[in-house]
Structure 1
Amino acid sequence: MQMQSKKFLILSVLFVTFLGGCKKKQQKSDVDKKSKVHKKMKRGQKDQSVDAFDLDQDSMKSFALDDQLTRHESSSKAAQSSSENPIFSWENLNAEESKHQFKTLYFGFDKDDLAPSEHAALSVDIAEAKKMIKKGKLIVIEGHACHSAGSAIYNLALSERRARYVAQKFAEEGIDASNIKIAPRGQEMPVRKGGSRAEQWVNRRVEIYAIDAQ
């Protein structure tokens, strides 16, 4: 009877130990599964947020095409504008003699139109241009910019817009476009070198010349 009791006690201890080991393994397995699911979810969330900033292949092609079209349209507009008053390349070696009675027109900072205070000078220039054309002269409208701000390319474009503005005013007063040439100079021919923006006001100008027609 004593032997049976000992055997029963040993079996009970072994059974309890076995159950404890199984429970630990199951808990560890559950933790591993949760960890894997958590990592998978984190990777999925990260990938989704990155993809939100990616353009697909079609979008990239469309973006590139839109950019090309925009540049083409800009080039077409520039070409159309230039055909009316093509840019004129000339050396004003006799600049002072070619000025005649023309007045220099001054522009505000980063402006491509004249302030009302310059309209009287513009009227003088229009009258002088008509007189010179009757003498067989060609009118050159030379645009300039200051160098207190902006790149050389930007200021070249700005000087061209200023010259074209004056050319348009001439055309509105009956001067044929064939008698007008545009010569943008950008910031390369300043009246005043250096100085502050305010001090460079004399560089923001349009000068007009009458030369022999070629």
Structure 2
Amino acid sequence: MNKKGSMLLLLALILGLPGCGGGDKKAKTTKAHDMSKKVAQAEGDSNMTLADAELSDESLRSFFDGMDEFVAMSDEELEQVADQFAWADADQDDLEAVYYAFGKTTADEEQAAKIAYNVEQAKKLIADARAEGSDAQLIVEGHACASAGTPEYNLAISEKRAQDVANRLVEAGLDRDAIKVVGRGNGMLVVTDGDREEQWPNRRVELHVLRA
């Protein structure tokens, strides 16, 4: 290859490299925007589910970075209260679970009716705990079934379900600062096998008052 050809090839390679600084930020913003569009489209179209959003680890991080309405529990916090997160045998303080249709992240009217009861019950439990000198928070814990979807998808949909319930609790009068949201994916199944209809109990949001 002659000298002129080599220079042209080098120039082409340089121009093809990703930009620095602002270019990376713009790319991340675009990905987050695209992710929001995909999820909104999946929620708004009755023929689609969140699975159509084709979630990846990177897009999940970008998407949930913009959903800081509530304080999500960190890995360290989860480790510290691991024994209290063994909900299968734990007292749920008479708070009712909210169940979701397959692929959905918005509770239907029947399930949403449980929110008013949960608000009053949670207020009482938190007030009682604080009257005894203990700090208390309401953990809103989302879950998914194992009949379809990748681990990333199920983690995403479980967290969006928890966010849905948390938003409704705040709208009904519960203190936002008393709420923590956590998505558990399909790691804590109530029904371990069967098709999507048989696994309906797994598609849920549970509420627990955590005393410290």
Alpha-carbon shift at residue 131 of structure 1 (Å): 1.0
Deviations 1:139-170 (A, max 9, x none): 11110000111101110011011111111111
Partner residue in 2 for 1:158: 157
Contact 1:142 1:185 in 2 (8 A): yes
Instruction: Note if 1:168 corresponds to 2:167.
Output: yes
Q: Secondary structure at the match of 2:68?
A: helix
- The yes-or-no answer on 1:85 pairing with 2:71 is yes
* Number of residue pairs matched by the alignment: 158
Q: For the structure 1 residues 68 and 103, does the alpha-carbon distance in structure 2 shift closer, same or farther, using more than 3 Å as the test?
A: closer
- Equivalences for residues 179-194 of structure 1 within 5 A: 179-194=178-193
| Paired AA for residue 192 in structure 1 | V
Are the equivalent residues in 1 in contact too, given 2:116–2:172 (CA < 8 A)? no
* Farther-moved stretch of structure 1 (120-129 vs 105-114): 120-129
List aligned pairs for 1:89-108, cutoff 5 A.
89=78, 90-91=81-82, 92-93=85-86, 96-108=89-101
| Normalised TM-score (structure 2) | 0.64
The one-letter amino acid paired with 1:85 is: V
1:66-77 paired onto structure 2 within 5 Å: 67-71=27-31, 75=61
The alignment-based identity, stated in percent, is: 31
Task: Name the CA distance, whole Å, in 2 between partners of 1:163 and 1:205.
Answer: 9
Separation of aligned partners in 1, 2:27 and 2:66: 20
The one-letter code of the counterpart of 2:189 is P
| Cα separation, 2, equivalents of 1:161 and 1:98 | 24
Summarize deviations over 1:91-137 as a string: whole Å, max 9, x none: 22466544111111100111111011112222211111111121223
Q: Aligned in 2, Cα 1:160/1:56: closer, same or farther, shift over 3 Å?
A: same
- When the two chains are superposed, the root-mean-square deviation of aligned CA atoms in Å is 2.7
Aligned to 1:203: 202
Of the two, which has the highest radius of gyration?
1
Which of 130, 140, 144 in structure 1 is aligned with 2:123? 130
The equivalent position to 1:111 in structure 2, one of 104, 128, 133, is 104
Distance in 1 (alpha carbons) for counterparts of 2:157 and 2:176: 20
Determine helix, strand or coil for the equivalent of 1:199.
Answer: coil
Whether contact under 8 Å (2:140, 2:206) holds in the other structure is: yes
Separation in structure 1 between the aligned mates of residue 93 and residue 197 of structure 2, nearest angstrom: 28
Between 65-74 and 153-162, report the one with greater CA deviation. Answer: 65-74
Letter in 2 for 1:186: G
Residue pair 2:139, 2:181 contacting (<8 A) in 1 also = yes
- Which residue does 1:47 correspond to in 2? none
* Structure 2 residues without counterparts, runs of 5 or longer: 1-11, 34-58, 131-135
Amino acid at match of 2:121: E
Secondary structure of 2:174's counterpart equals coil
Q: Decide which structure has greater helix share.
A: 1
Partner of 1:141: 140
The whole-number CA distance in structure 1 between the counterparts of 2:17 and 2:87 is: 54
